[in-house]
Structure 1
Amino acid sequence: MSKKRPVFSPEFKREAAELVTEKGYSILEACEARGVSESALRRWVDQLTKELSGQTPEGAKALTAEHQEIQRLKAKIKDLEEDNEILKKATALFATHDKERSKLSRR
């Protein structure tokens, strides 16, 4: 039976990483204070540092509110682009269908 990994909220991750980046805790001290593994906390610190320098994470949930909003908006744009493609295909299909109907009605 495999061990289930704990799931932490972006807020928890940000707060844990801030112990290191803002409050001066060592990685090990912050791990003990939050009860998380060293590798996880190192990833969160690295991610928070990147986000604070303006880089939006790919493939991970953002830790800062600004980057969470950026991710939400990117997802919305992707959905709208997919909807647009569907509408373009439907328009082309209807146009073809109308063209065929008008040819048949002229006969």
Structure 2
Amino acid sequence: MSTSRRKFTDEFKADAVQLVVQGQRPIAQVARELEISESSLGYWVKAYRVQHPDPETAPPPTEAARVARLEAEVRRLAEENAFLKIAAAFFAKEQR
């Protein structure tokens, strides 16, 4: 006996996720009502929350700007470190 997998449209998935997110209902309840597995709906909700973080739990803009500045500085320092390693190897060869 082979069972075919059910395919859901993106619109269906979005509607199901909105029932959980906006309706403040548990995933299990919505999954039972729509006759889908809880794990599938859970994955869809998780993906939605990753793509649309809650503004209340997101870091404030000043913190986000600080993190971005620090990440840029880390990238710059890593590039400088790589350059210095190459230069040190070059001068070490030259002295031999």
* Matched positions, count: 53
Equivalent AA in structure 2 for residue 18 of structure 1: Q
Q: Is 1:34–2:37 an aligned residue pair?
A: no
Partners of 1:22 and 1:11 lie apart in 2 by 16
**Matches for 1:1-107 after TM superposition, within 5 Å:** 1-53=1-53
How far did 1:2 drift? 2.3
Unaligned runs of 5+ in 2: 54-96
RMSD: 1.1
State the partner residue of 2:85. Answer: none
Runs of 4+ aligned residues of structure 1 deviating over 4 Å after TM superposition are none
Partners of 2:49 and 2:33 lie apart in 1 by 20
Alignment partner of 2:4: what SS? Answer: coil
- TM-score, normalised with respect to structure 2: 0.51
Partners of 2:9 and 2:51 lie apart in 1 by 16
Partners of 1:34 and 1:51 lie apart in 2 by 23
Partners of 1:8 and 1:26 lie apart in 2 by 20
Percent of aligned positions that are identical: 32
Partners of 2:7 and 2:32 lie apart in 1 by 17
Unaligned runs of 5+ in 1: 54-107
